Amino acid sequence: MKLALPALTFLAVPLAAAAVEAGEPAPARQRELIHLVRQDCGSCHGMKLTGGLGSPLTAEALRDKPLEGLEATIHGGRPGTAMPPWKTILSESEIQWIVHKLMTGFPTE
């Protein structure tokens, strides 16, 4: 089990609880994550996640892609592309939650 150690040391306060429980992020953190994905992932993937410099992240576009691969991409980035690693910002369980939401249609803010 790879634990989100960098996240714990880097941004300890808001992430610690979520990472330790490894369950769903708390509702307030969920709102932050939705904002982060729409706005900051959105700077490359588009606010509507329909793509830009980054590929589309709509449920439709991701349908046939394996979960683990998508999670690994968010965690470690994709070397040689513009997709950066988010492991210092997001815990494993937060990444899992984001991928789950992306696959099922990402909530709006």
Partner 1 sequence: MKALLTLLVLFLSGCAQTPAIRGTGDLGIVIERASGRVAIVDTTARSVLARVDGLGDLSHASAVFSRDGRYAYVFGRDGGLTKIDLLLGRIAKRVIQAGNSIGGAISQDGRLVVAQNYTPGGIKVFDAATLELLSEVPTGSKVVGLADLPGQRFAYALFDAGEIWLTDLSNPREPRTQKFPAGRQPYDGLVTPDGRHYMAGLFGEDGIALLDAWRPEAGARKILENYGRGEEKLPVFKMPHLRGWAVAGGRAYLPAIGRHEVLVVDTATWREVGRIAVKGQPVFVMARPDSRQIWVNFAFPNNGWVQVIDTPSNQIVQTLQPGKAILHMEFTPRGEEVWLSARDDNMVGIYDTATFTRKATLAADSPSGIFFTSRAHRTGF
Sign of torsion over alpha carbons 97, 1, 69, 14: positive
CB of 64 to partner 1, least distance (A): 20
Choice between 50 and 55, CB closer to ligand HEC: 55
Residue 81 Cα to chain centre, angstroms? 17
The CA distances from residue 93 to 11, 31, 53, 55, 61, in Å, are 15, 15, 26, 23, 22
Q: Does 31 bind ligand HEC (CB under 6 A)?
A: no
Residue holding tokens 């790879």?
2
Q: Does 84 bind ligand HEC (CB under 6 A)?
A: yes
Q: Does 57 bind ligand HEC (CB under 6 A)?
A: yes
The CA distances from residue 22 to 96, 101, 104, in Å, are 9, 16, 20
Residue holding tokens 């040689």?
80
**Which does residue 14 touch among partner 1, ligand HEC, none (CB within 5 to 8 A, set by kind)?**
none
**Which does residue 39 touch among partner 1, ligand HEC, none (CB within 5 to 8 A, set by kind)?**
partner 1
**Which does residue 72 touch among partner 1, ligand HEC, none (CB within 5 to 8 A, set by kind)?**
none
Choice between 8 and 101, CB closer to ligand HEC: 101
**Which does residue 25 touch among partner 1, ligand HEC, none (CB within 5 to 8 A, set by kind)?**
none
